[in-house]
Amino acid sequence: MLSAEAFDAITRNQLLRALPQEELERLLPSLTRVAFALGEVLYESGQRLEYVCFPTTSVVSLLYTMEDGSTAEMGLIGNDGLVGVALFLGGNTTPNRAVAVVAGGAWRMNANALQQEFARSESFQRLLLRYTQALITQISQAAVCNRLHSIEKRLCRWLLLTHDRVNANELFMTQEFISNMLGSRRESVTVAAGRLQDIGLINYARGHITIIDRKGLEGAVCECYRIVKDETDRLLWASGEG
Amino acid sequence: MLSAEAFDAITRNQLLRALPQEELERLLPSLTRVAFALGEVLYESGQRLEYVCFPTTSVVSLLYTMEDGSTAEMGLIGNDGLVGVALFLGGNTTPNRAVAVVAGGAWRMNANALQQEFARSESFQRLLLRYTQALITQISQAAVCNRLHSIEKRLCRWLLLTHDRVNANELFMTQEFISNMLGSRRESVTVAAGRLQDIGLINYARGHITIIDRKGLEGAVCECYRIVKDETDRLLWASGEG
DNA sequence: GCTCGTCTGTGCCCTTGCGCACAGAGTGTA
DNA sequence: TACACTCTGTGCGCAAGGGCACAGACGAGC
């Protein structure tokens, strides 16, 4: 039987929360609480994964780095997901890195335990595979959005994605940092953020963003944000899953 | 026991070829041979999938269409893969469409048979999940490439990807068609293709491309092409898989 | 206070690629 | 042969965004 405290802590990750109680109890011994600092690297490109992480208050970006050093983000993972799908997909490594963009906590589960449970429990497997599809949706939308939409819209999308995964209206990150995610120049982010600030959607000051008008951001963002959100809801939280 | 003819036909798809013989025999009754015309739609965005397809000589593009009608490709699938991962991931639909970009054949397998076999056979499941990771790699690389690389390089990448999946140096597709995949204007493709033609890599004439200098294309493409190729080889064909 | 380092704002020039318009060049068909 | 249609080439103006340089603004530490 899970203590109320443990249950409360563990279900701050929505994937874990979606699991049946007896499953959670079985998983608990394999889960370790960890914390990530801003910018901390969970794994490097090509590095063998030793564990997966279920973020609770942290947010993790899947980042690609090109040979010339330019970078772009392919996906963003918070308490709605899990970092390290390659472990149960069977590849064990991926050609991208994972970086914490919001400092905070997560639950860590080592490779063996994960693979064992994946093979053993149908509900666990089903949930993880559905999550994989949600992740694919997010990545493919990023592919299209990166191609077709302006920096300003993509910035809105990124802010909303991050805001969704954080329990606050304040984010701590520099424009330089964001430009690495968006795959653009820092100056372009400055200009775009300036416009969002001018129309009163956000406030920006030295690595400290405040979301002032969330609805306004939702109005300024491209369709990509909603498509991914709706599809994720459908895949993970809608039907009688778990 | 598979007839030599059936075995030969079925293993034109590399995923199927990677399966153990007894598994193939079990699958055979569930497989139907189909053919796709150029431009044929395998499934529409949001449509419930009834089957997966293992292309043999056809090539299928996963295409995203925005509300304003603009389009971009997220992935390209040939005899090295399978169309319809959402079926075993559990989502049953995806927000993109699948379109044949090279006419040709495929093996079709209905949803029930697929799901049954996925649950029953570990080697089948392992192969499909590894393929899923390869697909994720391809899509994420597209996301980054779309953001950071020029039309010309992306055109090279697309030509190489397609060429890899086709047993010929001639491709039948208009520049208009390709521009839909690249998410660019037709005129931009004209210019880029013109340059590739000038330096003797390809020949272009009214919906009829000839790859003249494959090595040259590999020299002109961005790193994205090779990263995906190497990673796919590692995931699917390298180790003792199957 | 002062200084240093970091973060943000801005301006200028340049390239890429889009929007649009239209001209030619093949191809198919009557 | 004539006509219609499709596909490709090209030119021009324009907007977005990259490269670079530098100025200001803020905060931390002394």
For A113-134, what is each residue's pLDDT tens digit? 999 999 999 999 999 999 999 9
Instruction: Give me the residues of A, 36-65, that contact B with CB < 8 A.
Output: 62, 64
Q: Count CA atoms closer than 13 A to B20's CA, side-chain side.
A: 11
- B192 φ/ψ angles, rounded to the nearest 5 degrees: -65, -45
The single residue listed with the structure tokens 């494959």 is B214
Q: Average pLDDT for residues B159-187, to the nearest whole number? A: 95
Supply the pLDDT for residue A2: 66
Q: What's the rounded Cα separation, in Å, for the pair A195 and B127?
A: 48
Amino acid of residue B5 = E
C-alpha closest to that of B123 among B13, B28, B53, B22 = B22
Helices (H), chain B: 4-10, 14-17, 21-27, 86-89, 111-120, 122-148, 151-164, 175-182, 186-198, 214-220, 223-232
In Å, how far is B5's CA from the nearest CA of chain A?
A: 32
Q: Which residues, 6 or more positions from A4, have their beta carbon under 8 angstroms from its beta carbon? A: none
Question: Which chain B residues in 124-183 sit with Cβ < 7 A of strand C?
Answer: 150-152, 183
Which residues in chain B are contacts of A147 at CB distance < 8 A? 72, 146-147, 183
As ranges, strand C nucleotides with an atom below 7 A of a protein CB are: 6-11, 16-21, 26-27
- Flag whether residue A130 sits within 8 Å of chain B, measured between CB atoms: yes
Burial of A231 (0-12, 13-18, 19+ CB in 10 A): buried
Supply the pLDDT for residue A239: 60
Q: Contact A146/B141, CB-based, under 8 Å?
A: no
Global pTM value: 0.95
Indicate whether B235 pLDDT > 60: yes
Q: What is the mean pLDDT of each run of 10 residues along chain A (242 residues)?
A: 77 94 92 94 95 97 95 97 97 95 96 95 96 98 97 97 94 96 96 95 92 96 97 85 40
For residue A175, list its beta bridge partners: none
Q: Which two tokens stand for residue A88?
A: 């149960």
Q: How far from A209 is each of A160, A163, A193, CA to CA, in Å?
A: 12, 11, 10
